[in-house]
Amino acid sequence: MAHFPKYMTTVLCIPRYQKQLPYVMTSVYSQIARSEKQTEEFRVLELVKKSAQRSARRKAKKIELLPPRTNVMPVDQDWSSVWPGPRSFHPASVPLPLRQGYNKKGVSPGKFANAELMKIPNFLHLTPPAIKKHCEALKKFCTPWPEELNDENCEKHFPVEVITSDYCFSSPDIREPMARIVILKVKLSALTLDKHAKDKLLRLVGERYDPSTDILTLTTDRCPLKKQNYEYALYLLTALYHESQKTEPWESEKTVADMEYYDWEQNVSYKNVLGTLNWPQSVKDTENFKLTPEMEEYKKAISDLMNKGEDLYTISKYKEATKKLLNLPEFLPLEYTTA
């Protein structure tokens, strides 16, 4: 203790530092040792410690990882047993050189440690062979499709097609609001409608009818349940059908100006044509007049002109038809007028 410098003693005496005593002691001892060694030489003041003297950085503990499974996968393996169900992407199980994401400086990041690939849903469990396997497994629960029921018969005996959707997913609530929607499709030719009824029905349904396929589509979604919507769709079809069969007393009051489309026989043009062709006799019985092929063509041309709208094509068709009607020769090729 005799060698202790005076200030150290002071430190020791302060109770606050007593907990740090072991450190203080070591530091003191080392100083003593150094002072003994340097008795012959001057001590060197080391303001910055030399690097060799620094304590070595703690080495990261290397985690032992197995090599990815894809390295040992045979090429003819059964993929559906590798990836049997829906699962997030796993790079070591998928033997594909996938890349996903954006790298500003180079190529897109590879599949390992790629969150982007894990975020997106994948269908690796729904490969065609897997689906085939499913079907094979389900086959034993099915009966064969009746052979007589081909597309034609199907259309004939089951004219109404009902489309609904079921949703399968995991969530606290198993109800999906979209599942309530019912789409009912029916070919208009399957219904018995006369000219008036068809006209009325088409006007009632509006854009729900597609003239190119002759299919009427009713979509019901106003009720909360699928069954209610289905029944409502059937009710709508019944109501539409019977409503279109009715003829209201005011329907007879319709004039040419009220027509939605151009009906040649009701227009001045019809009288003009009959008058011109039968001149100088006047035609009394315009109702039961038998149309000649030229008049039929003219009728089509003028109806198209009025209904589809006027363009160079419909005008040239009208011109052609008028020429035939008035027995005038074709002087120039048709493309001249349409050019």
Partner 1 sequence: MLTRYKFLLTVTRNNYFLRQLSLESPNVFAKPESRCRTVEDNPLNHNLEHEGRFYVVPPAVCNQLFRFGGIPKGYEVQAKTFDETCLMIRKPALEVINMMKVADYSRPIVKYVLFGERGAGKSLTLAHILHYALNSGHLIIHVPWVPDWMKKCKDHTRSETREGFRDTPLDSAAWLAHFKTQNQHLLSQTDLTVTSNYTWSKREETRSGSPLVELVDLGINRIKYASNIIVALASEVKALSSSGRCKTLVAIDGFNCFYNKRTMIKDENWKIVPPFQLTVTEAFINLVNYNWTNGSVVLTADRLVWSGNERGESDLPLYQLGKEAFELLDPFIPVHVPCYSEKEFHSCMDYYMERSWIQNENGNTEEGRSELMYLSTMNPYQLMKICGPL
Contacts to partner 1 by CB under 8 A: 267-269, 272-273, 275-276, 279, 298, 302, 305-306, 310-312, 315-316, 318-319, 322-323, 325-329, 331-332, 336-337, 339
Taking the CB of residue 333, how many other CB atoms lie within 10 A of it? 9
Taking the complex as a whole, the smallest distance from the CB of residue 292 to partner 1 amounts, in Å, to 14
Nearer to partner 1, 245 or 269 (CB): 269
Nearer to partner 1, 22 or 329 (CB): 329
Nearer to partner 1, 225 or 334 (CB): 334
The answer to whether 306 and 280 have CB atoms below 8 angstroms apart is no
Taking the complex as a whole, the smallest distance from the CB of residue 316 to partner 1 amounts, in Å, to 8
Taking the complex as a whole, the smallest distance from the CB of residue 289 to partner 1 amounts, in Å, to 16
Nearer to partner 1, 172 or 329 (CB): 329
Taking the complex as a whole, the smallest distance from the CB of residue 298 to partner 1 amounts, in Å, to 7
Taking the complex as a whole, the smallest distance from the CB of residue 103 to partner 1 amounts, in Å, to 50
| Three-class secondary structure assignment of the chain | CCCCCHHHHHHHHCHHHHHHHHHHHHHHHHHHHHHHHCCCCCCCCCCCCCHHHCCCCCCCCCCCCCCCHHHHCCCCCCHHHHCCCCCCCCCCCCCCCCECCCCCCCCCCECCCCHHHHHCCCCCCCCHHHHHHHHHHHHCCCCCCCCCCCHHHHHHHCCEEEEECCCCCCCCCCCCHHHHCEEEEEEHHHCCCCHHHHHHHHHHHHHHEECCCCEEEEEECCCCCHHHHHHHHHHHHHHHHHHHHCCCHHHHHCCHHHCCCCCHHHCHHHHHHHHHHCCCCCCCCCCCCCCCHHHHHHHHHHHHHHHHCCCHHHHHHHHHHHHHHCCCCCCCCHHHHHC
Nearer to partner 1, 89 or 298 (CB): 298
Taking the complex as a whole, the smallest distance from the CB of residue 324 to partner 1 amounts, in Å, to 10
Nearer to partner 1, 9 or 272 (CB): 272
Nearer to partner 1, 45 or 268 (CB): 268
Q: How far is CA 277 from the centre of its chain?
A: 59
Question: For residues 120 and 107, what is the distance between their CA atoms, to the nearest angstrom?
Answer: 20
Taking the complex as a whole, the smallest distance from the CB of residue 167 to partner 1 amounts, in Å, to 50
Taking the complex as a whole, the smallest distance from the CB of residue 266 to partner 1 amounts, in Å, to 12
Nearer to partner 1, 7 or 331 (CB): 331
